[in-house]
C-alpha cells in the first residue's frame, strides 16, 4: 500500500483518514517495505508525528518481546525499522525548525536522510558494529554523501551503548548459557578491572571431578553417563610403587558411547588385565553416527542387568594421552589464553605429582562465571584479613 502525500490533491481524504492510512502503511506492510518508505527522500510530509510515534511504540515493544522468544522473527529488520522511525521523527523536528530547504546547502535537512542515520545509530547501539555497518548503510542507500553523518552517528551510538551495557548478541549468549569466550576476559571488582595474573587455575576449577580408570566396570560406566552430562572425563592410572593415581589422559563422552555400543570389547574380571581382544578403528570411534535413543536404552540395560556388573572395558586404546593439563598454581590469565587459543573443551588441573585436582571447562571461563568465583574468593580473603586485624 503506497502512502499518499498529505499535501496537494488529497482526493477528498480527511486529515484523520490520512493519518490512519500513514500508520497502516508503517504497521500493516512488512518491515522491508516500511524501511523503503522511511528512507525515501523528498517526502517531508508523507508521515506525520502521530503515525511515526504510534508505529515506533508498537513496533519497539513487539520487537523487544519477540527478541527473547524462540520465534524466528529476526533482529536486523526490527533494528533498522525502529531506528528509521525515531530518525525520521528527528528529521521532522528539524524540518519544523528550519523549514523545507531547497538549496544545496540545506538539502541535508531531509527526514529520509535522518531515517538512515537513525537506523544506523540504533543498529550500532544494539549490535556494536561500526565500520561494517557504515559500509552496509552506504551500500544500502547508494548515497555516498551520507557517509560522514552516518559515521558520526555510529561512533556516538557505540560509545553510548558501551557506557551502559554490552551488545544484544553478547547478552543473548549469556542468557542462553552458550560458552563463548571473548578474546580477553573482562572481570570487574568494585568497578575496577581485575588482573587475572594475580589468580591461579585452582581458583576457578571445578573440584567435583568424575575420573575414570583404565579398566572400568560396564555397569558403573553406564550409570555415570546416565547421571551426568559431562562432555569429557580425565583418566587416571594407579602407580604400583607409589600407590598414587596419576593423570594419564582424557576421553570424551562420545568415545565412551562408541565403546559401550560394542559388547565384543567387554572383558570379565578373570581375564588378564588390559587384554586387547578387539579394538575399534579411528573411523568407528569418531565418525560413526550416533542414535541417542538407542544409546539411552543400551545404557539403562547395562545399569539394570546384573550380567554386566562383572564385565569391564579397557579404555587404554581410546584415551587421548596428549590431553593438555595445567598446574594448580598456573596463572589464570595464561590459562584463559591457552584454553581459547587451542580451542579446548576441557582442561585438567593437576598437582606436582600429576594427580588430578580439578577440571576447567569453557563455562568456568565465561566472564560472569569468573566474576562470580573471583568475587567470592576476594570477599573471603577480605573477611579473613579483617578477622586477623581484630
Considering the four listed CATH numbers 1.10.3080.10, 3.40.50.11060, 3.40.220.10, 1.10.3720.10, the one that applies to the domain covering 15-175 is 1.10.3080.10
Residue 62, pLDDT above cutoff 60: yes
Local confidence band at 1 (pLDDT 50, 70, 90 cut-offs): very low
Residue 273 has pLDDT above 80, yes or no: no
Name the pLDDT band for 5 (thresholds 50, 70, 90).
Answer: very low
pLDDT digits (tens, 9 = 90+) for 189-228: 878 888 899 999 999 999 989 999 999 999 999 999 999 9
Q: What pLDDT, on the 0 to 100 scale, is given for residue 200? A: 94
Q: What is the mean pLDDT of the chain?
A: 83
Any idea what DSSP says for residue 320?
A: B
pLDDT average, residue stretch 49-68:
85
Angle of the 218-227 helix axis to the 292-304 helix axis, nearest 10: 130
Cell of 333: 590469565
The bridge status of strand 346-350 relative to strand 325-327 is parallel
Which of 86-95, 133-142, 262-271, 354-363 has the lowest average pLDDT? Answer: 262-271
Quote the CA–CA distance of 44 and 94 in Å, as a whole number.
11
Question: pLDDT band at 19, cuts 50/70/90?
Answer: low
- Fold agreement (15-175, 180-205+328-390): no
The DSSP annotation for 149-189 comes to HHHHHHHHHHHHHHHH---HHHHHHHHTT--PPPSS---EE
Can you say whether residue 256 is alpha, beta or left, with left for phi > 0 and alpha for psi between -120 and 50 degrees?
A: alpha
Q: Is pLDDT at 15 greater than 60 in this prediction? A: no
Mean pLDDT, to the nearest integer, of 268-295? 66
pLDDT of 13 higher than 50: no
* 180-205+328-390 carries CATH number 1.20.1440.230: no
Model confidence band, residue 55 (pLDDT cutoffs 50, 70, 90): confident
For the residues 228-234, what does the mean pLDDT come to? 91
Answer yes or no: are the C-beta atoms of 203 and 332 closer than 8 Å: yes
72 three-class SS? coil
pLDDT confidence band for 6 (50 / 70 / 90): very low
350 pLDDT tier (thresholds 50, 70, 90): very high
pTM across the whole model: 0.66
Q: Please tell me the predicted confidence (pLDDT) of residue 388.
A: 67
Domain ranges of the chain: 15-175, 180-205+328-390, 213-240+250-320
Amino acid at each position: 500500500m503506497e502512502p499518499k502525500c498529505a499535501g496537494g490533491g488529497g482526493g477528498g481524504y480527511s486529515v484523520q483518514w490520512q493519518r490512519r492510512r500513514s500508520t497502516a502503511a508503517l504497521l500493516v506492510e512488512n518491515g522491508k517495505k516500511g524501511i523503503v518508505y522511511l528512507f525515501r527522500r523528498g517526502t517531508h510530509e508523507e508521515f506525520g508525528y502521530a503515525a511515526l510515534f504510534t508505529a515506533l511504540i508498537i513496533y519497539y515493544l513487539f520487537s523487544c518481546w519477540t527478541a527473547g522468544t524462540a520465534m524466528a522473527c529476526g533482529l536486523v529488520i526490527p533494528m533498522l525499522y525502529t531506528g528509521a522511525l525515531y530518525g525520521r521523527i528527528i528529521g521532522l523536528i528539524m524540518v519544523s525548525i528550519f523549514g523545507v530547504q531547497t538549496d544545496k546547502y540545506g538539502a541535508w535537512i531531509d527526514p529520509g536522510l535522518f531515517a538512515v542515520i537513525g537506523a544506523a545509530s540504533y543498529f550500532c547501539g544494539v549490535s556494536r558494529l561500526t565500520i561494517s555497518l557504515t559500509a552496509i548503510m552506504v551500500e544500502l542507500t547508494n548515497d555516498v554523501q551520507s557517509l560522514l553523518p552516518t559515521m558520526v552517528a555510529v561512533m556516538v551510538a557505540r560509545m553510548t551503548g558501551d557506557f551502559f551495557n554490552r551488545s544484544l548478541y553478547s547478552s543473548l549468549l549469556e542468557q542462553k548459557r552458550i560458552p563463548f569466550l571473548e578474546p580477553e576476559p573482562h572481570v570487574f571488582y568494585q568497578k575496577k578491572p581485575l588482573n587475572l595474573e594475580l589468580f591461579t587455575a585452582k581458583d576457578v576449577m571445578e573440584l567435583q571431578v568424575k575420573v575414570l580408570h583404565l579398566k572400568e566396570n560396564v555397569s558403573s560406566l553406564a550409570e555415570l553417563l546416565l547421571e551426568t552430562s559431562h562432555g569429557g572425563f580425565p583418566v587416571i592410572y594407579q602407580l604400583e610403587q607409589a600407590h598414587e593415581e596419576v593423570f594419564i589422559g582424557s576421553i570424551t563422552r562420545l568415545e565412551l558411547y562408541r565403546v559401550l555400543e560394542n559388547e565384543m570389547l567387554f572383558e570379565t574380571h578373570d581375564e588378564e588385565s588390559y587384554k586387547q581382544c578387539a579394538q575399534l578403528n579411528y573411523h568407528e570411534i569418531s565418525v560413526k553416527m550416533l542414535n541417542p535413543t538407542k544409546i539411552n536404552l543400551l545404557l539403562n540395560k547395562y545399569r539394570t542387568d546384573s550380567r554386566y556388573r562383572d564385565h569391564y572395558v579397557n579404555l587404554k586404546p581410546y584415551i587421548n594421552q596428549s590431553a593438555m593439563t595445567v598446574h594448580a598454581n598456573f596463572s589464570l590469565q595464561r590459562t584463559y589464553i591457552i584454553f581459547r587459543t587451542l580451542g579446548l573443551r576441557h582442561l585438567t588441573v593437576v598437582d606436582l605429582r600429576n594427580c588430578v585436582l580439578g577440571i576447567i571447562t569453557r563455562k568456568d571461563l565465561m566472564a560472569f562465571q569468573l566474576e562470580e568465583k573471583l568475587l567470592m574468593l576476594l570477599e573471603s580473603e577480605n573477611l579473613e584479613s579483617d578477622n586477623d586485624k581484630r
